[in-house]
Structure 1
Amino acid sequence: MVLTVNCSSPEFLLADTPPMSDLPAAQRHALEAWASQAIDAGWLASNATDALSTTTTASPGLLFDSSDRPLVAGLFGGTGVGKSTLMNRIAGEAIARASVERPTSRDITVYVHRSQSVDRLPNAFPMERMRTALHNNDRYRHVLFIDMPDFDSVESANRDLVDLWLPHLDVVMYVVSPDRYRDDQGWRLLLQHAQEHAWLFVMNHWDRGDPVQLEDFRQQLAAAGLSEPMIFRSDSSRVASPEADATEDDFEALRTTLEQLADQSIVNSLNELGILARLKSLKSASDPWLESLGNDESIKELQTRWQSHWQQSTRNLADTLATKAQQLAEHYAEQEGSWLSRWRKQPESKTSLPNGPLVDAALLARLDNVLADFLNQQSQNSALPLSALKQSVAEPYARARRDFAMTVDDAVNRSLALPGSAWQRRLHSGLGVLCLLLPLSAMGWIAWRVVNGFAAGGTDPTAYLGSNFAVNGSLLLALAWAIPAFVQRKLKPSRAKAAYRGVGLGLNEALLQTSTAINAGLNRLAEQSQRLRQQYEELWLSLSPTETADIPEAVRRMLASEISSPAQRSLDVRANTHSSTESAPLS
């Protein structure tokens, strides 16, 4: 199995293909970058990345600079099961301290061939509690043994050491005894880390055991996901007296299995399976983040609820502004009075009332309440994060709110600039022309009669015009102006009605702009949700297998299958390994 990285992903995905052992750390960094983006947008809580703290990115390969490394096998078990005694039996010498007075291992004992070197021990490792035993036994040239402290010790430092070393093991040699194989703490650790390692089980002190206990232990392991566990019986009495007639055990089979596991192809397989298990753990921890992103249906339902809420709530706003529209109309009706009343009044803003602006702070506060009520409802009825919803609508709503008064004022001004209907304005303009043309025509006719009478008066004294003509001419001139002027005034488009109409149009336009702005914010919410979900999926799709091969059956027996629980959701990447045809098959 080879895991590759697709580098054509967003910026928080893995920029370069990291080494195999560095994949979990690189993926965790990518997840944290993605989560940071989601947190900034309000989709995740600020402590969302704490879920990753329960996962580990450490692996055995991180201890070595070279990929051609030894198998790392750790002896794991509770107090008194004989781990140190078993370690000494494997080594053929007393390299681990086996206490009689208090059978509790407090230190790490590393048993490694002189040709091997651990290049990169983590800084967190307490070196003062680590003992190294070098050997020249070629049988274990490619195996690094670690005898770990008792996990069930009352000393918390012992458990901390176990937690530090567990992620760096290829194989966990789970050591039990006939009277300790049902230990609760051991089972909790086994179930917690079952998917991260290969497992070998040793029933130590078999000289005190019973086949019924062995079968019971096998059934427990099957329930934990190991259907065919590899269990080896070990008679610890043979350590002190190798030639003694003791109970038959499987110690030689255990040593042979360890030697075969040290084959480089098997080590690579176990390394890659461990890396995959760590990626699964990361995915299990991060998958719940997607629940807060909602889905297309939830966001469409949110948009529908917004439209319904907006239509119901803005009716009250319309009623409030209708009252002000009436006041503005009355204000303009007063201005359309006599010229004397207009002269006495001080000039005012077109869209201002004597008692303040048309759109005041109280009206805008009511508009704020409409949105706030909607957001409060969604905090109770919607699974979408309220913080993400607020952020998505905040900016477009702020712009619409800022322009609300200007939109209403502009509509009023446009309506006042073009009062009445088009035919009213044309008729009014035509009457204005008649107010000029008719008096001019009358004046022209009167002037023609005067000049003509004066010219004829030299020969005919009766041709001179008298006072009757002066009176009639004056009346004609007055009527020529007064009649069209009176009709024009009566047919003049009402600015009061124009103001009232402008307020209605302006309110509708401003409310439409506000609703559109909120819808734009909700659309942005939907796009952001889809983008984050797609980026998350691409982040995991960038890790894909490029080669396939069957896992060797013996290795499969050492791996725990998926346990049916919410915490064990699998990564959709198959684990495939290479097996060497030249190496002897494992028993």
Structure 2
Amino acid sequence: MALDLQHLAQQARLWAEQGVAAGWLVDEHAIPLRRFENHTPDTLFEHDVARPLVVAFFGGTGVGKSSLLNRLAGQPVARTGVERPTSREVSVFLHESVHLQRLPGDFPLEKVKIARHQEAGQRHIMWIDMPDMDSTEHGNREQVMAWLPHIDVLVYVVSPERYRDEKAWRLLQSHGSEHAWLFIMNQWDRAQEVQKQDFGKQLARAGFTDPVILCTDCREPAAARQTDDFPQLAQIIHSLCDHHTVGQLEQRTRQARLQQLAETLAHCLEKLAGAAGAEELQQRWKDQWEQAELHLLQGLQWPMQQYVQAFVARDGNPLRPQLKLTKAETNSGSATPSAYTLWDDWAQSLVDDAMDRLVVEASQTGLSHSALKSRVEQLKPGLPSLIMRQAQQSLRLALANPGNALQRFALRCTAFLTVVLPLAALGWVGYQVLTAYQASAASHANYLGSDFAIHSGLLIGISWLLPWFIHRQLAPSAEKAALKGLRLGVMAGLANVEQMGNEMLKLALQERNGFEAQGWSIVQRCGEATGEEQAMDAGLLGRLLQGHTPSAAP
């Protein structure tokens, strides 16, 4: 289970870093996951042996927690009284057979005092005396927060004079559900029962419904002490040392960490923009590109006319032009415009502005800013050749098949008539000449006259000239056909760019949805790992592990 916590926490951190790098998450939202503490008391020790119970003493200056620790340990472990009125170090007291695997935090080792003993009765307990929590030393708070994840039992010590101090509560309550809690009112010889009751009410307001509050008197010599709850305190701590109870305490800590990890991840996921925003972005991109396309077609109208005229007139052969639609590249690699350049800096800047607006609005919608920007930057240099390639292809097709289908049919008909009608007229004139000759030979009448010759010539000429003239009139203008084809080609190229933008948005949306699904998958696995744990034992352990309720106020 510990490995599950470590693995899930590492996956959550990598997920957050991926989100920040891609632009799905802002750095501020990823900070809680970077700082998430995935260590437990178990990580302090070697895993092949049973670990001891980790008991830590917290409290303000002068409440006597070091004296209480010395009494529990059976020997002077922590310095007391005038020796250190304000503790600035962590004192660790453990059996010589127990080996620490690592020390938490980045603070210097000189601030950690480790003492070892040979008492067999204390072998299963590791005592920790924490720095005074009401000290002005900022390093004290850092040390306390570094050690908190590694503690099983948190012993909070107060005195009759300082039990109402809330400074420590504000520091410890965020981790209240992760530890077993014991509350000690030390210096009981100067306390009254009403103070203990008032302390209990204070804990109730803080969220502890049934706290264990014990009273101790740790004065020296021992004969001067009043009757107190110290035997009960020692019995409770030693009852928690068995392997099963330590395992349950470790389990409770892991459960709390997994729940915290799931809540932190869910909070980050709530910051992601919804899919509806991406769909709105696709519509805005469509509207923006339509405006850009309209401006481009208007601005390119005159350059297209100039290009078509030069294209059609080139060497009298419009199907083999030598003109370029974009800037020509020189030997040095720089682009130089020609007299008939169609796609110039103005057109490129208009397209670049539209693509840049797409990237900016995508980042505001929650899509990956960096990935989309990278794709757009890779696409920009190839857009001119992409659009002009489509335009040139459409131009050549328009010249190869000028006009519409009806025009082409009429042209074929007039071309046919240009040949057939003169031949038919010649045939009719020949037939008339032959029949007139036969009639003249039989009747010795006059042969055909000049009127017939004139009329026959006119008939033959008109039968050829009329379809030829109609054919000339119906023939589409090469310049108009080329202009229409070029415009349609530019429009088709711009439509391809719009489609590429839509595809990039769809890909970005798929990546964002995959990123979100990955985050929820980690949250689900945290819940599954938490659900695998067994229920806590009732009774005293359940009472010590009550923590604080979320709705409670300190």
The TM-score with structure 2 as length reference comes to: 0.81
The 1-side partners of 2:265 and 2:115 are apart by 38
Query: Given the alignment, which residue of 222, 230, 241 partners 1:242?
Result: 222
Letter in 1 for 2:228: D
Partner of 1:369: 353
The 2-side partners of 1:475 and 1:442 are apart by 10
Q: Secondary structure at the match of 2:115?
A: strand
The 2-side partners of 1:520 and 1:141 are apart by 66
Verify the 8 A CA contact 1:351 1:413 in the aligned structure 2. Answer: no
Give the 5 Å matches for 1:555-566.
Answer: 555-559=541-545, 560-564=547-551
- Is 2:115 aligned against 1:132? yes
Kindly state the Cα deviation for residue 249 of structure 1 after the two structures are TM-superposed. 2.2
Verify the 8 A CA contact 1:226 1:557 in the aligned structure 2. Answer: no
Kindly state the Cα deviation for residue 312 of structure 1 after the two structures are TM-superposed. 4.3
Q: Secondary structure at the match of 1:243?
A: helix
- Is 2:11 aligned against 1:27? no
Verify the 8 A CA contact 1:107 1:131 in the aligned structure 2. Answer: no
Query: Given the alignment, which residue of 33, 37, 40 partners 1:52?
Result: 33
Deviations 1:174-213 (A, max 9, x none): 1222222333542232123323322211111122223343
Kindly state the Cα deviation for residue 435 of structure 1 after the two structures are TM-superposed. 3.6
Give the 5 Å matches for 1:254-403.
Answer: 254-324=233-303, 331=309, 348=321, 355-373=339-357, 375-376=359-360, 382=365, 386-387=369-370, 390=373, 402-403=385-386
Q: Secondary structure at the match of 1:485?
A: helix
Give the 5 Å matches for 1:516-555.
Answer: 516-543=499-526, 544=528, 545-546=531-532, 548-555=534-541
1:414–1:216 CA distance, 2 compared to 1 (3 A)? farther
The 2-side partners of 1:306 and 1:344 are apart by 41
Verify the 8 A CA contact 1:332 1:496 in the aligned structure 2. Answer: no
Partner of 1:224: 206
Kindly state the Cα deviation for residue 254 of structure 1 after the two structures are TM-superposed. 0.9
1:501–1:564 CA distance, 2 compared to 1 (3 A)? farther
Deviations 1:42-100 (A, max 9, x none): 21246764333432122111122236222111112222221211111112222322132
Deviations 1:496-549 (A, max 9, x none): 332343244334423332222222222222222221111111123223123543
- Is 2:398 aligned against 1:419? no
- Is 2:44 aligned against 1:63? yes
1:344–1:83 CA distance, 2 compared to 1 (3 A)? closer
The 1-side partners of 2:377 and 2:268 are apart by 23
The 2-side partners of 1:374 and 1:103 are apart by 64
Query: Given the alignment, which residue of 493, 497, 509 partners 2:492?
Result: 509
The 2-side partners of 1:307 and 1:477 are apart by 62
Q: Secondary structure at the match of 2:58?
A: strand
1:515–1:397 CA distance, 2 compared to 1 (3 A)? farther
1:53–1:197 CA distance, 2 compared to 1 (3 A)? farther
The 2-side partners of 1:201 and 1:67 are apart by 30
The 1-side partners of 2:517 and 2:274 are apart by 12
The 2-side partners of 1:123 and 1:45 are apart by 27
Kindly state the Cα deviation for residue 121 of structure 1 after the two structures are TM-superposed. 4.6
- Is 2:152 aligned against 1:170? yes
Kindly state the Cα deviation for residue 274 of structure 1 after the two structures are TM-superposed. 0.9
The 2-side partners of 1:274 and 1:92 are apart by 29
- Is 2:163 aligned against 1:181? yes
Single out whichever of 348-357 and 92-101 deviates more from structure 2. 348-357
The 2-side partners of 1:332 and 1:481 are apart by 34
The 2-side partners of 1:257 and 1:482 are apart by 123
Partner of 2:231: 252
Kindly state the Cα deviation for residue 323 of structure 1 after the two structures are TM-superposed. 4.6
Kindly state the Cα deviation for residue 144 of structure 1 after the two structures are TM-superposed. 1.5
Q: Secondary structure at the match of 2:222?
A: coil
- Is 2:428 aligned against 1:428? no
The 2-side partners of 1:116 and 1:376 are apart by 58
Verify the 8 A CA contact 1:400 1:517 in the aligned structure 2. Answer: no
Letter in 1 for 2:36: T
Single out whichever of 416-425 and 367-376 deviates more from structure 2. 367-376
Partner of 1:4: none
1:213–1:327 CA distance, 2 compared to 1 (3 A)? farther
Verify the 8 A CA contact 2:2 2:254 in the aligned structure 1. Answer: yes
Verify the 8 A CA contact 1:407 1:509 in the aligned structure 2. Answer: yes
Kindly state the Cα deviation for residue 390 of structure 1 after the two structures are TM-superposed. 4.0
Single out whichever of 481-490 and 277-286 deviates more from structure 2. 277-286
The 2-side partners of 1:546 and 1:282 are apart by 16
1:375–1:346 CA distance, 2 compared to 1 (3 A)? closer
The 1-side partners of 2:384 and 2:209 are apart by 66
Kindly state the Cα deviation for residue 480 of structure 1 after the two structures are TM-superposed. 5.1
Give the 5 Å matches for 1:72-87.
Answer: 72-87=54-69
Letter in 2 for 1:180: R
The 1-side partners of 2:325 and 2:346 are apart by 15
Single out whichever of 145-154 and 252-261 deviates more from structure 2. 145-154
Q: Secondary structure at the match of 2:181?
A: strand
The 1-side partners of 2:385 and 2:310 are apart by 27
The 2-side partners of 1:306 and 1:258 are apart by 67
Verify the 8 A CA contact 1:22 1:62 in the aligned structure 2. Answer: no
The 1-side partners of 2:362 and 2:278 are apart by 11
Kindly state the Cα deviation for residue 233 of structure 1 after the two structures are TM-superposed. 1.2
Partner of 2:441: none
Verify the 8 A CA contact 1:73 1:172 in the aligned structure 2. Answer: yes
Partner of 1:204: 186
Partner of 1:143: 125
Query: Given the alignment, which residue of 198, 211, 215 partners 2:197?
Result: 215
Single out whichever of 260-269 and 427-436 deviates more from structure 2. 427-436
Partner of 2:388: 405
Q: Secondary structure at the match of 1:193?
A: helix
Verify the 8 A CA contact 1:201 1:229 in the aligned structure 2. Answer: yes
The 2-side partners of 1:367 and 1:528 are apart by 25
Verify the 8 A CA contact 1:41 1:391 in the aligned structure 2. Answer: no
Verify the 8 A CA contact 2:399 2:481 in the aligned structure 1. Answer: yes
The 2-side partners of 1:267 and 1:416 are apart by 88
Q: Secondary structure at the match of 1:43?
A: coil
Deviations 1:286-330 (A, max 9, x none): 43332343122222222233333344443333433445555567x
Q: Secondary structure at the match of 1:200?
A: strand
Q: Secondary structure at the match of 2:157?
A: strand
Verify the 8 A CA contact 1:70 1:142 in the aligned structure 2. Answer: yes
The 1-side partners of 2:201 and 2:399 are apart by 91
Letter in 1 for 2:221: S
Letter in 1 for 2:18: Q
Cα RMSD (Å): 4.2
Verify the 8 A CA contact 1:396 1:520 in the aligned structure 2. Answer: no
Partner of 1:90: 72
